[in-house]
Amino acid sequence: MATIKFLRSAIYHLSASRLPATRTVLQQSALQTKIIVGPACHSAQIHTCQQRRAEIGRGNIHPSKLEKSSLAISKTLFEEATLAEVNKETFRKVVKTFTEYDKRRRGHIQFIETALRYMKDFRVEKDVDAYNALLDVFPKGKYVPENVIQSIYNHFPEQQICAIKVLQMMEDNTVLPNNETKDILISVFGKRAHPVKKYQRLMYWFPKFRNINPFPLPKELPTEPTKLSEIGLKRIAEYEAELKVYYLNGTTAESENAEFIANAQSPEQRELLAEHPPVRPLYVEGAFHLWLRSSKLTYFVLRGDPFALGDEGASDQDVPQTHAEGPVFAMCMTNSNSQETLQSWIKNLQEDNPHLARIPVIFNLFNLGESRTEPVRSLPTETQLIGDS
Amino acid sequence: MSSCKSRLLLRCSVRYGLLPFISSRPPLACQRTGVSLLLCRHQQSDSSSNSSSSTDTSKKEPYSKFLTRNLKMWGGEIYDRLVCSNLDTMFDTTRSMWRFAGTDSFKDFQVLTDQDIGGQSWAKLEPSRNNKLLFHGNLCTTVPRDGETARSGYCSLKSKQQFVSFNRKKHMDLTPFNSLNLRLRGDGRAYMVNIMTEGYFTDYHDDIWSYFLFTRGGPYWQDVSIPFSKFFLSSRGRIQDRQAAVDLELVNAIGLTMADAIDGEFALEIDSIAASYDATHTEEFAYEMYHK
């Protein structure tokens, strides 16, 4: 197997060097090689210089001659920068400081791996320029293979693995590389290196899957819970559903930590609810969860009982009917999820649906994960009737 | 009798790629069928997964019993093939593979989580409140502290490998169809649908064809239809540069993966899984194959 691989890459190198220079990016990506991914990204040992830390407090931040030649500089640099201000500019400054320390850029792999860890702290993990600045730390031209043998064997493997880690981090944070990234990688590692291949793979697959989600969300999700639940309800409710936000306990839209109930109900649902026979109870079911990217919302559903309207004979056929679900009449999202809030939701719903006051409402609240011992159709232990009885 | 003969002929010609609409498939797939029928390469670990007998797994089955049972199964298979007992469904444009109702209907499925590699996610397979399959759990991306694992956090649902007589693997043949249909109700998170096929060479054993499954969330059911042409090839978690369309003749298992790198609970309720033929979909493979 190894021989085949060897021969294949040898032939590839020879053939590739003879090809015209105008090969497209995608043609290159068609050739498959196995990426050698190193150990976990936290494997790099990072040293801290206690003496230097102590000097920061005294205002002496210029590196000594000894420190300039030592490998233990990278973490200290970032620690210092976090003391002042964390933004894109300081991150760039740290990278610049490192590149100017030493002409030979000693310890740059260690520096890049440390920088990858600090990216989140500097809030630059979504910023392609920051990644480009990091990749720019690699010295140019030094790692480009010059002959067939170097090309077949992994030329400067540690450096290539480090660059792949940077690209992997871009992938994890869904950052699309740009042309600058390509130019840097090619000038550092040459056209056929593994980081360049990784770049090509990213450029091939990322745009392919970028817009395939049929339920798209805005790029930046709002932080206010009312706005968030509005997006959530619009996603799960019918197209015609009307959204209404009720504020509770005297809070308003402007007040902080406003207690609210966001309600979604379509005109059709309102009509259905108006025809609901008062002898049949309605159920408030929940809590169900809805994820909008990484934020979890909770919603409740007002349902009818599972039997169809005016279909008396249907209740005799037991098997398929017992597990059916009733029609949905309304949905809501609140910030407190307590039964009291849900009761006031029903009260607020009665403004638009006067018929609801005559129907008993049963609160069927559960956690999805917990195991049930009761059969599916039994009434919940905690029942509460609202409306005139 | 003559009609039976023609059925057999048709069946064979479909199976071995003699009919024109199948003949565009790669020739390797046809060879593989023949080989895997002849060789019994796979040892079955426990005899209880054979549906015909419910023997105690802890007790070793005597050889005579094993032989009798398997011969009986084999006879049944030959009889099935001769009389073409699936003739009435053979030309259907839709095949319902699983329709879930109650615990018995999902005994074909198993759950795998990253606890196998030391992670902390968990997932369960339970009947939901209206008796469908509920795949729910908690995803945790905390990396196990073993010093070599770099990333963690997956829960997957996979149909079990089925076996026919003499411990041969049973494959699903989905060549008449071109899309996978799922009826489900999710929680807004993204899942992944996987198709595992039988690979002849050892290198192909980890090949998985996958595509994304986006759920809407909410109380309404969602009908998802994914064309098989959209499935892309990955091996050991890496998308391959050299892509190929999924080999639908030898499908071992179909599964779902939850691994969207967001910590928290997830729940997916599945009503049915089916394969269907959509005549309007003519795409053979959605991704470019430059090496050809």
d(CA A19, CA B26) in angstroms, rounded, equals 30
Would you state the pLDDT for residue B1?
37
Measured between beta carbons, the chain A residues lying within 8 angstroms of B147 are 39-40, 43
Smallest Cβ–Cβ distance between B130 and the set A31, A205, A376 belongs to: A376
What the block records as the tokens of B14 is 């479909």
A40, B189: Cβ pair inside 8 Å? no
What the block records as the tokens of A217 is 């969300």
Q: Are A288 and A301 in contact (CB under 8 A)?
A: yes
- Name the amino acid, one letter, at A130: A
Q: Do strands B94-99 and A260-265 pair parallel, antiparallel, or not at all (unpaired)?
A: unpaired
Helix ranges (DSSP H) in chain B: 2-15, 27-38, 63-83, 87-90
pLDDT in tens, B213-261: 999 999 999 999 999 999 999 998 889 998 999 999 999 999 999 999 9
A288, B291: Cβ pair inside 8 Å? no
What the block records as the tokens of B222 is 């969602």
A376, B129: Cβ pair inside 8 Å? yes
Residue in this structure with the two tokens 């990216």, named with its chain if needed: A119
**A·B CB contacts under 8 A:** 108
pLDDT in tens, B49-58: 444 444 455 6
A213, B190: Cβ pair inside 8 Å? yes
Best B126, B130, B182 member to test A by mutation, with max A CBs in 10 Å, is: B130
d(CA A385, CA A389) in angstroms, rounded, equals 8
Does B110 or A311 have the greater pLDDT score? B110
Measured between beta carbons, the chain B residues lying within 8 angstroms of A208 are 287
Q: Are A184 and A135 in contact (CB under 8 A)?
A: yes
CA distance B290 to chain A (A): 6
Would you state the pLDDT for residue A70?
55
Q: Chain B residue closest to A289 (CA)?
A: B187
pLDDT at B28 over 50: no
Q: Are A228 and A292 in contact (CB under 8 A)?
A: yes
Would you state the pLDDT for residue A308?
54
**Bridge partners of A242?**
A265
Contacts of residue B134, defined as CB under 8 A and 6 or more positions apart, other chains included, come to: A368, B125, B126, B127, B128, B267, B268, B269
Q: What is the dihedral of CA A89, A93, A96, A100, to 10 degrees?
A: 160
What the block records as the tokens of B177 is 């169809």
- Class of residue A19 by CB neighbours under 10 A (exposed 0-12, middle 13-18, buried 19+): exposed
Q: Chain A residue closest to B244 (CA)?
A: A30
Measured between beta carbons, the chain A residues lying within 8 angstroms of B262 are 291, 293-294
**Bridge partners of B226?**
B180
- Continuous segment of H or E residues that includes residue B273: strand B264-276
Q: What angle do CA B246, B242, A6 make, to 5 degrees?
A: 135
d(CA A291, CA A218) in angstroms, rounded, equals 14
B218, A237: Cβ pair inside 8 Å? yes
Compute CA distances B237 → A195, A227, A282, B87, whole Å: 18, 37, 47, 39
Instruction: Give the pTM.
Output: 0.75
Helix ranges (DSSP H) in A88-224: 88-101, 108-118, 128-135, 148-152, 157-172, 179-189, 194-209
Cis, peptide link before residue A30, omega less than 30° from 0: no
Q: Are A90 and A130 in contact (CB under 8 A)?
A: no
A291, B187: Cβ pair inside 8 Å? yes
A172, B261: Cβ pair inside 8 Å? yes
Smallest Cβ–Cβ distance between B212 and the set A40, A212, A323 belongs to: A212
pLDDT in tens, B163-215: 999 999 999 999 999 999 999 999 999 999 999 999 889 989 999 999 999 99
Residue (of B30, B62, B47, B15) closest to B166 by Cα position: B47
Q: Are B270 and B100 in contact (CB under 8 A)?
A: yes
**Helix and strand totals (H; E) in chain A:** 16, 6
- Class of residue A54 by CB neighbours under 10 A (exposed 0-12, middle 13-18, buried 19+): exposed
Q: Are B198 and B168 in contact (CB under 8 A)?
A: no
Measured between beta carbons, the chain A residues lying within 8 angstroms of B289 are 30
Does B18 or A342 have the greater pLDDT score? A342
Smallest Cβ–Cβ distance between A213 and the set B214, B218, B241 belongs to: B214
CA distance A106 to chain B (A): 26
- Class of residue A269 by CB neighbours under 10 A (exposed 0-12, middle 13-18, buried 19+): buried
What the block records as the tokens of A292 is 């909008």
Residue-by-residue pLDDT tens, chain A, 389 positions: 555 666 566 555 544 444 344 333 333 333 333 333 333 333 333 344 455 555 544 445 555 665 555 555 677 788 877 777 888 889 998 899 888 877 788 889 999 999 999 899 899 999 999 999 999 999 999 999 999 999 888 999 999 999 999 999 999 999 999 999 999 999 999 998 999 999 999 999 999 998 999 999 998 999 988 999 999 999 999 888 999 998 887 777 777 777 889 999 999 999 999 998 888 899 998 889 999 999 999 999 999 887 654 455 444 444 444 456 888 999 999 888 788 889 999 999 999 999 999 999 998 887 655 544 343 333 443 444 444 33
Return the domain boundaries, chain A: 68-210, 225-309+320-385
Q: Do strands A361-365 and A282-292 pair parallel, antiparallel, or not at all (unpaired)?
A: parallel
Would you state the pLDDT for residue B30?
38
What mean pLDDT is predicted for residues B260-284?
A: 94
Q: Given 3-state DSSP classes, what are the helix, strand and coil percentages for chain B, each rounded to the nearest 5? A: 25, 30, 45
pLDDT in tens, B43-95: 343 333 444 444 455 678 899 999 999 999 999 999 999 998 888 887 889 99
Contacts of residue A11, defined as CB under 8 A and 6 or more positions apart, other chains included, come to: none
- Name the amino acid, one letter, at A356: L
Smallest Cβ–Cβ distance between A324 and the set B130, B212, B267 belongs to: B130
Q: Is A28 helix (H, G, I), strand (E, B) or coil?
A: helix
B239, A201: Cβ pair inside 8 Å? yes
What the block records as the tokens of B45 is 């670990």
d(CA B143, CA B118) in angstroms, rounded, equals 8
pLDDT in tens, B112-142: 999 999 999 999 999 988 889 999 999 999 9
Band (pLDDT 50/70/90 cuts) for residue B41 is very low
Smallest Cβ–Cβ distance between B242 and the set A30, A292, A294 belongs to: A30
Q: Chain A residue closest to B130 (CA)?
A: A323
d(CA B174, CA B213) in angstroms, rounded, equals 20
